[in-house]
Copies of this chain bind each other. A is one copy, B any other.
Amino acid sequence: MMRSVQFMQAIRAWMDIFMHRSMRGWGLFAKSTGLSMPQFSVLMQLHHKGACGMSEISERFEVTPAAASQLVDKLVQNGFIVREEDPNDRRAKLLDLTDKGRELLERGFQERYRWADQLAGRLTAEERVQVSEALNIMTRAAEELEAEPAP
């Protein structure tokens, strides 16, 4: 399905450089906090999707419930998330970020944003307006894609 050659070229070039940059950045940040990437990804997941049960973790990361349980356990022990009984289903657990967990992620985002700020510094005022509008368009589209489930 060929939408637009120009668009695909542009987004691929951007994705190449941006994905590499952010993967490396998050990796180093996670390491600096003493968290492993899987542990860190669980925090990101909770940040992005909000509180959830163990089963959502094991499904989204494609690991066994046992693995999810152990992973979460370490994060609970370190005070980054809380694990409480679900009042509606006493078998299930509800996981959520603690303030400590949220604060850690915030620091990570700040580091990422510093790069965005450097990027902004290389643009003219007109370019910044143009890019802002385009980013808003893409963010909206991405959110729609996220909401409507893939076939």
Interface, chain A (partner B; CB < 8 A):
1, 3-4, 6-24, 26-28, 31, 37, 41, 44, 48, 60-62, 109, 112-113, 115-123, 125, 127-139, 141-146, 150
Contact = CB atoms under 8 A, between A and B. Distances in A.
A18 B142 contact: yes
Contacts of A44: 20, 23
Nearest to A132: B10
Contacts of A113: 8, 11-12, 15
Given A7-B128, A44-B20, A15 B121 contact: no
Top 10 closest A-B pairs, CB basis? A134-B134, A3-B120, A10-B132, A10-B135, A122-B141, A7-B128, A14-B135, A131-B134, A11-B116, A13-B139
Contacts of A15: 22, 112-113, 116
A12 B112 CA distance: 9
B10 A23 contact: no
B19 A112 contact: yes
